[in-house]
Amino acid sequence: MKKIISICDFSEICGIKKTILIFILICNLSNAQTKITLESAIETALKNNNSIKNEKLKADYAKAMIKSNADIPKTNIFGEFGQINNNQNDTKFGIAQSFALPTVYKRQKQVLTEDYNAKILLTNLKEFEVKKTVTHLFYNYLSLKEKEKLLQKADTLFSKFFDKANLRLQKGESNILEKSTAETQKTNVAIQLKQLQTEIEMLKLEFQLVLNSEEVYIPVSSNLKARIENSKIEENPILKVFEQQKKIVSAETALQKSKLLPEINIAYNNNSFKGIGLDDSKRFHSAQVGLGIPLFGGSQKAKINTSKVAENIAESEYQTQVLNLKTEYNKLLTQYNSNLEIVNYFETNSNKNSKIITDVANKQFINGDINYLDFVMLVNQSIAIQNSYIEAVKSLNESIISINYLNSKN
């Protein structure tokens, strides 16, 4: 007979390796179930999330581009050799450079600076989107764990019911229908519990992805309900992005206008004059200063007019976004008030009644005051009430999270 090596046999062969293995497993298990608060989860996500990192890199790129505002044309260096002045060969060297007026470079820098500010605001917007996602997943997890507790409680209750029904059947005190009903209820709860636990594991993976951490975090909070925060919708990061777009196109218009200003041209020449009675070794110098005037500025004026249209578009989009957010806020506020009223009703009345129904039904069934069908109906009614309460809190949290997101200011 082939001998199977057990863990004990293995420990005798290499006890040191077993000790190390157990230590690693313990460490992994402890790391796999690290509890985390909402504040810590948000902090971890903001630090590790790849989308935020990408936005920050784009902002760094835009910041580096600010230094490119002084886009000066290439310097023109030239030389001549030949019969420039008479029938003798002369040489001539020169250097020329054109510049825009300082106003142009200043306004180019302003455009690049506003673009950098826009990238910063987009980073802030991405951070708030991540915060909303983390908060949403965090409270969804808490809701699912409450449902898990509820189903585990129901599983225990129906397991006891099944054991009693099975015992009663063996003693001849009931029929097969009672046992089958108990078994069906027990199986249904077990299936629901398994499906719920699968959903919890899937949500944990989503949570892990947003936090972008090798460590598996488990949300924990003493309060199932989210907190509503006070702020102003005008400070919403989405509006800040649209407002910044107005500044960008305004700076672009100013830049296009400045390009109608003349350019400055300067040049330096060094040449010889041979054969005219002068010292042939002597060289002569000259300088030039001129202006580049845009006599044909039709194209540039068209760009200015186009940029002004872009300003109007940016303003219209901003106002549209303000209206959309205010409308969304009013809708969410209506939902919030409705959800809050429902949750308050459950906490004031239904939750107490649910506990009473479960306790009384259990006692009456044990005492034989009600039959198994009445017991099943009452227990399911109690479970449905508690489940509806958890769903109501979940809906309340969703409206609170959405309101907080609309009112976020930084």
Residue 80: strand pairing partners: 92
- Averaged pLDDT for residues 365-375: 76
Residue-level length of the chain: 410
Chain segment 223-278, per-residue pLDDT in tens: 888 888 876 777 788 999 999 999 999 999 999 999 889 999 999 998 887 766 66
Q: How far apart are CA 238 and CA 215, in angstroms?
A: 32
Three-state DSSP class for 79? Answer: strand
At residue 18, the pLDDT reads 45
Packing angle of the helix pair 176-211, 372-406 (nearest 10 deg): 10
| Tokens standing for residue 372 | 């198994």
At residue 272, the pLDDT reads 80
Chain segment 30-68, per-residue pLDDT in tens: 445 789 999 999 999 999 988 899 999 999 999 999 998
- In the numeric block, the tokens 């044909």 are attached to 296
Chain segment 101-149, per-residue pLDDT in tens: 999 999 999 999 999 999 999 999 999 999 999 999 999 999 999 999 9
Of the chain, the percentage scoring pLDDT greater than 70 comes to: 88
Confidence band (pLDDT; 50, 70, 90) for 358?
A: confident
At residue 2, the pLDDT reads 40
Do residues 379 and 364 lie in contact, with contact meaning Cβ atoms separated by under 8 Å? no
- Averaged pLDDT for residues 328-349: 92
Higher-pLDDT residue of 214, 401: 401
Is the pLDDT at 27 greater than 70, yes or no?
Answer: no
Residue 266: strand pairing partners: 97, 289
What is the architecture of the domain spanning 33-68+100-260+297-406?
Answer: Up-down Bundle (1.20)
Sign of CA dihedral 114, 119, 123, 126: positive
Is the pLDDT at 9 greater than 60, yes or no?
Answer: no
Is the pLDDT at 194 greater than 60, yes or no?
Answer: yes
Closest CA to 383 of 404, 410, 408, 362: 362
At residue 32, the pLDDT reads 56
Higher-pLDDT residue of 295, 103: 103
Weakest-pLDDT range from 7-21, 179-193, 227-241, 373-387: 7-21
At residue 277, the pLDDT reads 62
Weakest-pLDDT range from 35-49, 163-177, 190-204: 163-177
At residue 280, the pLDDT reads 64
At a CB cut-off of 8 Å and minimum separation 6, what does 261 contact? 100, 101, 103, 104
Beta strand extents in 110-168 (DSSP E only): none
Do residues 265 and 288 lie in contact, with contact meaning Cβ atoms separated by under 8 Å? yes
Q: How far apart are CA 260 and CA 225, in angstroms?
A: 61
Confidence band (pLDDT; 50, 70, 90) for 362?
A: confident
Residue 285: strand pairing partners: 270
- Across 7-21, 303-317, 347-361, which has the greatest mean pLDDT? 303-317
